[in-house]
Amino acid sequence: MPGPDTGAQTGQATADVGEPMDTARQQERLLPLRERRRDATQREIAQCAAALFESHGFQATTVEEIADAAGLSLRTFYRYCDSKETALSPLLTDCVSALEHALTSRPAGQPFPEVARDALLHACTAMDDASRRRLIRVMLAEPALTACLLATNRRAQDQLTPVIAARTGADENALRPRLLAGLLVNTSATAIEYWALHDDAGALDRVAADAFDAAAGAFSECEAVRASRACGAGTAGVGKPTRPAALSVSPGIGIAPVSAGDDRTS
């Protein structure tokens, strides 16, 4: 555990990577003291690693430098992290923690498409800061860190699958909840990466909203195009693609297109 002088040792490096999001702090208060201390130490290591990777580069940064910045011995560092590649893990789980919290806290009767969209915007709003954008850019520029990012997304799908199963009334071992979890996680990851790499992208929650809406309409849009082609080129005015439908989730069924006039559209 970092000593009282940790703040002085990390200094501006810790400040540059931002404060933990509110959802993470709320969840931490529910953990036993031992787990809170462990989480605090892991987050301190992650913040120091992020600052060093940004300022010195990933390849040039050593485990010893990260441990020293966090006020830890090398042996203690390895108690919390397997390698410098995994040191950033606590910062990568913020988004999925926020998604899980939002999914479970929405009213029981709210349609799942609305729940999913609200959860995505909630999570992305909490991550919209300059330090987070720099962190994602650093990770996408380094293959070893990109692999960690992808692994985090895979674990996020596993974490959200039972939550979504409970929301939709489905068996958590069924295909649909896992598919929906994968769609939500990958929509979030794609929006965050696009936002991080484009300074003119605008607010992250707006990018996330556009990404969600595009994903929701993608399947029905493809079906409309297929139907149009099936009608043949000689049938003018027949089979024209219609406005992409929204996606609806029925208990135990999963994701399905909803026509423009259906009152289930979210």
Q: How many domains does the chain have?
A: 2
**Domain extent for 164:** 93-229
**What does the pLDDT average to over 6-29?**
46
Check whether residue 78 and residue 139 sit in a common domain: no
Domain endpoint, select from 90, 116, 131: 90
pLDDT of residue 165: 94
- Does residue 204 or residue 263 have the better pLDDT? 204
Q: What CATH number has the domain bearing residue 104?
A: 1.10.357.10
pLDDT tens digit sequence for 112-134: 999 999 999 998 888 878 888 98
The answer to whether 119 and 103 have CB atoms below 8 angstroms apart is yes
Domain presence at residue 259: no
pLDDT tens digit sequence for 48-60: 999 999 999 999 9
Check whether residue 110 and residue 223 sit in a common domain: yes
pLDDT of residue 127: 82
pLDDT of residue 30: 56
| Share above pLDDT 70 across residues of the chain, in percent, rounded to a whole number | 70
Domain presence at residue 254: no
Domain presence at residue 255: no
pLDDT of residue 89: 87
From the CB of residue 226, how many other CB atoms can be counted at a distance below 10 Å? 11
Q: Give, to the nearest 10 degrees, the angle between helix 175-197 and helix 204-230.
A: 120
